[in-house]
Structure 1
Amino acid sequence: MANNVENCEKVLIINRKRKYRVPKKQLLSVPYFEKMFSSDCVESQENKVKLDFDERVFDSIISWILSGQFNIRMEYAISFYEAADYLMINERFLEPCLSHFLENFTIENIPVLLPQVTKVSKFFTSGVINNICRHFLMITNTDIFLNYPVETVEAILKLDLMVHSEYQIFESIMKWVYEDVESRKELLPRLLACVRWAFMDHDDICKIKNNELIKALPNFDEIISSNGECAFDRSDQSFFLTIHQKADATLLIKILNSDFICLSIGDFTQDDSISLEFVNEDHVSDILFDSGTKGIRIDWIKKTFRWLDFKGKVKTYYSNLIKFLVEFSDNLNYLCCYLEDADKDIPETIFPEEELLLESNGVFILIGKTKCEKQWFGLFPVAKHSWFNDFRDQKHSFHATVLDNTVYILTKDLEFIQYDYETQCFEKNDELKEEKFKFNDLILISHKKNDEVILVNKASGKVYVFCSDEEKWIEKFRIMNINLCTDSSGSDIDKLVAFTSTFLPMQFIEPLYYESSEDSILTTD
């Protein structure tokens, strides 16, 4: 048998600087080579093939062809998949590559993965970019980000990152520079060129000019006049989203801009074959609602959805998220305290009766009640993995949201609480008790772009905005035909399930109609 292999016809493969002599018979098991050698092409006549793959990748592929075994590492996972796809190797070979990638992808891998991403890449490259863009603010709050090479930071900053303002891009640059200011301050102009200055608020630019490192730059005015890459306003990706459940279990999804102008996206059908892996394509969004206790994964192109898992025993949305982020930075200012009695010592181990995880400006804040004393407590921000890994959906006696440094809480008894975790000021009022609302009909959210805290009554469709100056709620508008129309059986149709604020990839969302106003975010290109 060994003699037969040694004596069989061989093909010379030249891949970059490496040469391989491979038995032709075994090489024909690969569709690309089988097709090549069944034709009259030059390669077939000369038994000589020239290729241009990463050497480590092609070594693994040759190993698989000859022995049925191969090695794969995250450093070249995307390039490996692309090479296998080019050679038309079947899905049975590619599936373990995909599984390995999905199981091991974290922000630690970004420096080696980003250089492999190209416009023609197929292997989850849009998923890599999508996760970086969506979770950029969280990534910047990790020590891993602070230790990225400048090439990686620059590549990230050039993406269409999901931020509330360009000032947050500037803040991320300064975080990275200050980690090693003496060696990195010379790189500041290079990174500042990635800021899209045309979309920077004038007041923010004035604030930036007062920074000592910026003052030391001789050419800062030239940098901001260059405008960076201004084709897309990264700060214009935050929207309101409503989900209405129809009588046939399909969902009607609508999007509202910051002025509450509504755009209907259409009906979406449930598809439980949608992967729940944390990495997803750029036309797929994870939308959290009900104070972060529920969520939905939406495929905007296929118009399908799947409910996210918040009850699993092993993997949930939050456990996958913290695995991706690895850990938050040690440089963050951490505070763990009782909300009503900041001076009282809080034990190192807390036994909560219930808790909520709230995303805020790139970190998570935890608000809960202790099991025995029923005291309000908070973690600003959350550091330990166990809070993410152990979080499970359950019935809650309060809703909560965060805006800037203030946590807003609405209790089952309709007490409205405001807690500023910088000043540790705790306030509450009973105004909402006079409205006779039902707790389970209410949704409490915040919207950073509008700087507003919003209360939605699902039963009436009324939407209220909290006026902090006057300490009262003002009715903003009403969503009509919510729980008002019924079918012949008397059951509700088009029931409002969710009203939330979120980042959305509008370039992949096809509305049922367009507006003609050039100023509207809902227009065609």
Structure 2
Amino acid sequence: MVVIKSIKEDSSKILSLAYKDRENGDLVIINKGKRYKVHKTIFHYAIPHFAKMFASGMKEATSKEVILDHPIESFEIIIDWAYCQPIEITDENVRELYHLADYFNIPDLALECLMILLDCFSDQPMLEIDYWRTQVGVIDIGKIIDRYICLNFRKIISTSKFLTYDVDTVDYIVSCNKLDIDKEIEVFDAIMMWIYGNIEKNLVHLPRLLTKLHWYSITHTEFIDKIASNSCIKGNKDCHAIIMSAFGLIHLGSSDSAISQNLKLEPRDFHGSPTRLFFLTDVSESKKKVEWLDDFGGVQEICILDYDPTLVARRLQHAHISEHCFSDYIVQIDWKRRRWNHFKNDELIITKLFEHVITFEKIPEGKVCLKKGPRTIELAPVALIEHIDHDGLEIRSVTQYKSWFYTIAKSFWSKHKIVVEEFHPMENIWKLVSNDISAEYQHYEEHGRNKNKHLAFGDYLILFLDDSCSIYDINSKEWSHQQNPIRGSTSNTVFCVHQSKLLAYDFCQHILREFTIASGELVSLSERKIKDGPKSSEIFSASREFLKYSHET
């Protein structure tokens, strides 16, 4: 037998015919007294709630009538959805439709409504976790909220909003398993930050929150230095049994007492997957090559990506899509389909916070905007900072630290000075960091913007030029200056933070350098030549899980 052609009927056409022929349906739904004839099989497969109802053994499983009590307009939209008919989500019906889709366990529709609600009914960059954690019934949507928390944990706990959450919300946040953290002690620090935010009110909840820690992942030194010596814990008698049980688990490996205190014995999953260093190189205007650094210091090609301008800003449910913020633009990679797109504009610096795009105009007194779905929300412009002549400033680069940004601006009124500022989108305020860095940046004008690099590393802001390096301690708010430890021009070097180290890759000499910070100075850890190293335009750190998606067919 020889197959000449393989064809199939258009399923949407069949469903449309069934939609028009509902009078011959075999199920009657009576909703608020209004009768609807539908096809039982279609509702069984299209709406999980009905599938569960029909398989429950209840009278609805055999009855030809189902009685409901839901808003009529929204329920009729659910019927249209079941038959794959086009529906309209409006500002008037979206909230009601979300709750109905959640009730009927329709994840795709519930998610679409949720995204509209998040984009169109809040001007804040961050998800209102305290509200939405109580508004989710669909398991898939709950997983998306959890993933949002995990990806943004460090940013969430750095906001003033975190300190206002009730204990149930804090419990929910710290109980998420795959938090984007390096050490479990970061969760303890977050708990204590919340306690200190209103110690008279919150201290009573400390024992409850301590049971959410994954004690197995806390080291002996961390336990002694930060937990056992904590004055709030020592002074709270309800914490004593928990701490003694945790001591037995960490130091003696004894789990009996820990079990009786309902402590978590298993280690936290953290990121869920180790990270790898990736290289992204231009092959042509429409193609990029992705490579990764293997365990032996070699570079392995993963795939070639094709340009796809139809890719839109990532939605949280797409685990196979990643986004990477570089100096002034974002690159999006669809690992499964091997596609890429970028969000780039010569007049803007484009970055992201809490899964939303934020843009900074490069011109003096430029606008700062938050993109939420179809809306553009103007935030406080840089000109609101006092004591600076903003007619003479032009933002050159932006880097993110926790839930805020540091901007580097060039001064027109003083050729050899730059201005460093903080911008806090959640509070919508600007703060001056420095407007008096000059001698170390005397070559700023000569060398141009591309030779100036800056990024946040740990609790430090690092600024590079060809012959100098300035480091700002974010906690002490003090500057230190040193010679640039990167030999050669920084214009040939790209940077990223990977596995708690600062990496600098010179793509002309194919040299990869590793740095850390000690006593406020940038210290070299290693330097190695990458054999056949890529002439990479960018490097980035990402989960090795993306390797799995890239090999799927």
Residue 241 of structure 1 is matched in structure 2 by 278
Structure 1 residues 408, 254: closer, same or farther in 2, change over 3 A?
Answer: same
Aligned pair partner of 1:419 in 468, 472, 485: 472
Once the two structures are TM-superposed, the CA of residue 294 in structure 1 deviates from its matched residue by 2.6
Residue 32 of structure 1 is matched in structure 2 by 43
Please say if residues 130 and 282 of structure 1, whose CA atoms lie closer than 8 Å, have aligned partners that are also in contact. no
Question: Which moves more between the two structures, 261-270 or 192-201?
Answer: 261-270
Aligned pair partner of 2:179 in 133, 145, 161: 161
Q: For residues 7-46 of structure 1, what are the structure 2 equivalents within 5 Å? A: 20-24=32-36, 32=43, 46=63
Question: Which moves more between the two structures, 163-172 or 369-378?
Answer: 369-378
Please say if residues 74 and 113 of structure 1, whose CA atoms lie closer than 8 Å, have aligned partners that are also in contact. no
Question: Which moves more between the two structures, 263-272 or 313-322?
Answer: 313-322
Please say if residues 255 and 262 of structure 1, whose CA atoms lie closer than 8 Å, have aligned partners that are also in contact. yes
Residue 282 of structure 1 is matched in structure 2 by 319
Structure 1 residues 304, 351: closer, same or farther in 2, change over 3 A?
Answer: same
Secondary structure at the residue paired with 1:164?
A: coil
Q: Which amino acid aligns with 1:190?
A: R
Secondary structure at the residue paired with 1:156?
A: helix
Residue 165 of structure 2 is matched in structure 1 by 148
Structure 1 residues 34, 365: closer, same or farther in 2, change over 3 A?
Answer: closer
RMSD (Å) for aligned C-alpha atoms: 4.9
Structure 1 residues 61, 314: closer, same or farther in 2, change over 3 A?
Answer: farther
Aligned equivalents of 1:79, 1:156: Cα separation in 2: 26
Residue 537 of structure 2 is matched in structure 1 by 497
Q: Which amino acid aligns with 2:129?
A: I
Q: For residues 392-431 of structure 1, what are the structure 2 equivalents within 5 Å? A: 395-411=449-465, 413-421=466-474, 422=476, 424-429=478-483
Confirm whether residue 110 of structure 1 aligns to residue 129 of structure 2: yes
Residue 214 of structure 1 is matched in structure 2 by 233
Please say if residues 74 and 109 of structure 1, whose CA atoms lie closer than 8 Å, have aligned partners that are also in contact. no
Once the two structures are TM-superposed, the CA of residue 107 in structure 1 deviates from its matched residue by 3.5
Aligned equivalents of 2:154, 2:277: Cα separation in 1: 19
Please say if residues 28 and 36 of structure 2, whose CA atoms lie closer than 8 Å, have aligned partners that are also in contact. no
Residue 490 of structure 1 is matched in structure 2 by none
Aligned equivalents of 1:405, 1:240: Cα separation in 2: 22
Structure 1 residues 114, 57: closer, same or farther in 2, change over 3 A?
Answer: farther
Secondary structure at the residue paired with 1:157?
A: helix
Structure 1 residues 269, 201: closer, same or farther in 2, change over 3 A?
Answer: farther
Q: Which amino acid aligns with 1:221?
A: M
Aligned pair partner of 2:146 in 129, 152, 157: 129
Confirm whether residue 77 of structure 1 aligns to residue 84 of structure 2: no
Aligned equivalents of 1:307, 1:44: Cα separation in 2: 51
Q: Which amino acid aligns with 1:24?
A: Y
Secondary structure at the residue paired with 1:356?
A: strand
Q: Which amino acid aligns with 2:201?
A: S
Structure 1 residues 419, 313: closer, same or farther in 2, change over 3 A?
Answer: closer
Once the two structures are TM-superposed, the CA of residue 23 in structure 1 deviates from its matched residue by 2.4
Once the two structures are TM-superposed, the CA of residue 101 in structure 1 deviates from its matched residue by 4.7
Aligned equivalents of 1:404, 1:95: Cα separation in 2: 36
Structure 1 residues 346, 69: closer, same or farther in 2, change over 3 A?
Answer: closer
Please say if residues 74 and 104 of structure 1, whose CA atoms lie closer than 8 Å, have aligned partners that are also in contact. no
Please say if residues 127 and 281 of structure 1, whose CA atoms lie closer than 8 Å, have aligned partners that are also in contact. no
Structure with bigger RCO (C-alpha 8 Å, 6+ apart): 1
Q: For residues 507-522 of structure 1, what are the structure 2 equivalents within 5 Å? A: 507=545, 509-510=547-548
Give aligned-pair identity as a percent: 17
Once the two structures are TM-superposed, the CA of residue 143 in structure 1 deviates from its matched residue by 2.8
Aligned equivalents of 1:65, 1:350: Cα separation in 2: 58
Once the two structures are TM-superposed, the CA of residue 399 in structure 1 deviates from its matched residue by 0.3
Confirm whether residue 197 of structure 1 aligns to residue 197 of structure 2: no
Structure 1 residues 97, 289: closer, same or farther in 2, change over 3 A?
Answer: closer
Please say if residues 213 and 264 of structure 2, whose CA atoms lie closer than 8 Å, have aligned partners that are also in contact. yes
Residue 440 of structure 1 is matched in structure 2 by 491
Please say if residues 169 and 195 of structure 1, whose CA atoms lie closer than 8 Å, have aligned partners that are also in contact. yes
**Unmatched 5+ residue regions in structure 1?**
1-8, 328-335, 338-344, 389-393, 483-493, 514-525
Residue 330 of structure 1 is matched in structure 2 by none
Q: For residues 85-104 of structure 1, what are the structure 2 equivalents within 5 Å? A: 85=106, 99-104=116-121
Secondary structure at the residue paired with 2:32?
A: strand
Aligned equivalents of 2:315, 2:233: Cα separation in 1: 38
Aligned pair partner of 1:456 in 497, 502, 505: 505
Using structure 1 for the length normalisation, give the TM-score.
Answer: 0.68
**Unmatched 5+ residue regions in structure 2?**
1-24, 81-86, 250-257, 359-369, 378-383, 432-447
Residue 181 of structure 1 is matched in structure 2 by 199
Once the two structures are TM-superposed, the CA of residue 480 in structure 1 deviates from its matched residue by 2.4
Using structure 2 for the length normalisation, give the TM-score.
Answer: 0.65
Please say if residues 76 and 116 of structure 1, whose CA atoms lie closer than 8 Å, have aligned partners that are also in contact. no
Q: Which amino acid aligns with 1:128?
A: I
Aligned equivalents of 1:303, 1:34: Cα separation in 2: 32
Please say if residues 265 and 511 of structure 1, whose CA atoms lie closer than 8 Å, have aligned partners that are also in contact. no
Structure 1 residues 13, 178: closer, same or farther in 2, change over 3 A?
Answer: farther
Secondary structure at the residue paired with 2:332?
A: strand
Once the two structures are TM-superposed, the CA of residue 239 in structure 1 deviates from its matched residue by 4.2
Once the two structures are TM-superposed, the CA of residue 313 in structure 1 deviates from its matched residue by 7.6
Secondary structure at the residue paired with 2:133?
A: helix
- Write the deviation string for residues 140-165 of structure 1: whole angstroms up to 9, x where unpaired: 12232222232222222222111132
- Write the deviation string for residues 75-119 of structure 1: whole angstroms up to 9, x where unpaired: 873762673848x9xx8x996775445444764532343345567
- Write the deviation string for residues 366-419 of structure 1: whole angstroms up to 9, x where unpaired: 33332322423323564564879xxxxx954410122234322222x4433333
Please say if residues 199 and 233 of structure 1, whose CA atoms lie closer than 8 Å, have aligned partners that are also in contact. no
Secondary structure at the residue paired with 1:203?
A: helix
Residue 299 of structure 1 is matched in structure 2 by 334
Secondary structure at the residue paired with 2:398?
A: strand
Residue 75 of structure 2 is matched in structure 1 by 61
Aligned equivalents of 1:454, 1:97: Cα separation in 2: 38
Once the two structures are TM-superposed, the CA of residue 176 in structure 1 deviates from its matched residue by 1.8
- Write the deviation string for residues 254-312 of structure 1: whole angstroms up to 9, x where unpaired: 4458996866543333332222256552332211234xx23212233333322134568
Question: Which moves more between the two structures, 125-134 or 157-166?
Answer: 125-134
Alignment coverage as a number of residue pairs: 448
Aligned equivalents of 1:144, 1:299: Cα separation in 2: 33
